[in-house]
Amino acid sequence: MDKFVINGGNALRGEIPVNGSKNSALPALAAALLTAEPVTLHRIPRVRDIRTMQRLLVDVGAKVDVEDGAVRLEAAKIVSPEAPYELVKTMRASSLVLGPLVARAGRARVSLPGGCAIGARPINLHIFGLEQLGARIEQSHGYIEAVAPDGLRGASVHFDRITVTGTEDLMMAAVLAKGETVLRNAAREPEVMDLAELLIKMGAKIEGAGTSTIRIQGVAELGGAEHTIIADRIEAGTFMVAGAITGGDVTVTGCNVEHVGALVAKLQQAGAEVTQPGADSVRVRATGKLRSVDMTTEEYPGFATDLQAQYMALMTQAEGIAIIVETIFENRFMHAQEMARMGANIRVDGKQAMVAGPRALSGAGVIASDLRASASLVLAALVAKGETVIDRVYHIDRGYEKIEQKLAAAGARIERVE
Ligand code: EPZ
């Protein structure tokens, strides 16, 4: 298993480019199952979760070719509409094939995901939505089986809680349903909008993506399309925090600044200087002291839960007490104990963490527990005195492409060792 060895203390300087969004690419890949024609996707990040999804699509019957950064998918026939436990347990987003498979093949068998490091994360809302669309769903042996032999029919679906992949899954099911589907209390994340754009290029009729009410007129079939995935806002945010936490001057390029608006506001309140040198770049400079600023995670356009851990690392270096409230997942503070081992002063009480700073961090051996927690430990290590060894970096490889090379190019002393 690979580890990162990081020697902290260098201020990061220079440009750091971002990749295409993992969380946009995953549903886009699944959407290719909705048509027999080829779908070509550009800017797909080369990260482990994407490889897992590609494997799943091949198992289902799709042809997947990766060339020059583009992924070409062709699902001429659905051979086996199943997502096995072996894949779902490594990546919960596998449940994104549920909607497309029922819509296209009239049948899907998908393993239930079970618990995960950041909380229970059930998929009851995906199931509820599909039932509203007329699928019959049964659960046995850890799998759910959904059947709709005569096809799905449009319906009104009200999510009683906002769910990102749930909205995406239902959108993909509804595009081939008979009649109109209205999704209410839908997720407004940029990744949902990106998926809608791709589906529209494939011939779907969708209005309102990016708002909380999405209207879909089902069509009989979809065709091929070519689409470029949006920039990864979480990767961008992670590098922005890297600039601020190291007292550096980092320009993150190839991103959509609007998508990181909530983080920009927090960085500015904390005393960092944030400017926009170009249409798709954002510069973060932190020359003076940082101030503590409270933060609560929310659905988009609020502060992303996927940046909460990185923000906590930043607050260990800020003057005062910051209260961080996690409202999306019930167990997403695992990084706090690891940061405490590096000298941070953090108290966790249920959904709330209190971070008192600034504290001089010192390098230590720490363990990455999930994707974003690992990123936050890298950030903490960049300012810690001495050497930090981060174990289990396979978590970080799920969602960041070559993060160590990107950070090293900006002056970080970080190395991957086997
Ligand atoms: C997506 O997960 C992202 N994953 C997550 O990214 C992200 O943290 C999360 O949205 C929130 O922004 C992908 O896009 C592939 P949810 P998702 O359904 O869709 C509860 C990362 O680090 N819920 O919006 O699975 C759920 O337990 C990750 O890249 C139900 O109760 O999250 C959670 O508390 C990890 N029933 C809340 O809703 C359901 O059926 C929001 O989850 C579905 C969700």
pLDDT of residue 187: 98
pLDDT of residue 120: 74
Same domain, 295 and 190: no
pLDDT of residue 224: 98
State the distance from the centre of ligand 1 to the C-alpha of 95, rounded, in angstroms.
Answer: 11
Same domain, 342 and 288: yes
Which ligand 1 atom sits closest to the C-alpha of 92? 25
Please, how many CA atoms are within 13 Å of residue 159, restricted to the half-sphere of its CB? Answer: 28
pLDDT band of 113, cuts 50, 70, 90: confident
Question: Whole domain around residue 287: which residue ranges?
Answer: 3-19+231-417
> What residue owns the CA closest to ligand 1's atom 1?
164
Which of 200, 228, 256 is at the close of a domain?
228
> What residue owns the CA closest to ligand 1's atom 39?
123
Q: Taking residues 99-126, report their average pLDDT.
A: 89
State the distance from the centre of ligand 1 to the C-alpha of 293, rounded, in angstroms.
Answer: 25
Query: Is the Cβ–Cβ distance between 222 and 176 less than 8 Å?
Result: yes
> What residue owns the CA closest to ligand 1's atom 7?
306
State the distance from the centre of ligand 1 to the C-alpha of 344, rounded, in angstroms.
Answer: 28
pLDDT of residue 115: 66
Task: Tell which one of 161, 168, 188, 372 to mutate to probe ligand 1, the residue whose CB is within 8 A of the most ligand atoms.
Answer: 161
Task: Tell which one of 95, 121, 212, 298 to mutate to probe ligand 1, the residue whose CB is within 8 A of the most ligand atoms.
Answer: 121
> What residue owns the CA closest to ligand 1's atom 10?
164
Which of 228, 249, 268 is at the close of a domain?
228
- 389 or 118: which leads in pLDDT: 389
- CA trace torsion 387, 392, 393, 394 (10° rounding): 170
Same domain, 170 and 142: yes
β strands within 127-212, DSSP E: 136-140, 143-147, 156-158, 180-184, 205-207
Same domain, 146 and 257: no
> What residue owns the CA closest to ligand 1's atom 31?
122
pLDDT of residue 99: 98
Same domain, 35 and 90: yes
Distance CA 40, CA 20 (A): 14
Same domain, 257 and 224: no
State the distance from the centre of ligand 1 to the C-alpha of 121, rounded, in angstroms.
Answer: 7
Task: Tell which one of 47, 163, 305 to mutate to probe ligand 1, the residue whose CB is within 8 A of the most ligand atoms.
Answer: 163
Q: Of the candidates 224, 140, 138, 214, which has an alpha carbon nearest to the alpha carbon of residue 181?
A: 214
> What residue owns the CA closest to ligand 1's atom 18?
163
C-alpha triplet 190, 83, 196: angle, nearest 5° = 20
Q: Taking residues 100-125, report their average pLDDT.
A: 89
> What residue owns the CA closest to ligand 1's atom 13?
23
State the distance from the centre of ligand 1 to the C-alpha of 113, rounded, in angstroms.
Answer: 12
State the distance from the centre of ligand 1 to the C-alpha of 325, rounded, in angstroms.
Answer: 17
- 369 or 82: which leads in pLDDT: 82
State the distance from the centre of ligand 1 to the C-alpha of 237, rounded, in angstroms.
Answer: 18
Which of 177, 203, 228 is at the close of a domain?
228
Distance CA 302, CA 314 (A): 18
Same domain, 388 and 251: yes
Same domain, 15 and 114: no
69 has a pLDDT exceeding 80: no
> Which residues are known catalytic residues?
116
pLDDT of residue 256: 98
Which residues form ligand 1's pocket by a CB distance below 6 Å? 23, 26, 92-93, 119-126, 161, 163-166, 191, 305-306, 328-329, 371-372, 399
CATH number at residue 118: 3.65.10.10
Which ligand 1 atom sits closest to the C-alpha of 189? 12
pLDDT in tens, 176-196: 999 999 999 999 999 999 999
Q: Taking residues 89-116, report their average pLDDT.
A: 92
Same domain, 38 and 13: no
Using the structure block, give the residue that is written with the tokens 């960085």.
267
Question: Which tokens in the block code for residue 261?
Answer: 């608006």
Same domain, 45 and 113: yes
Same domain, 358 and 286: yes
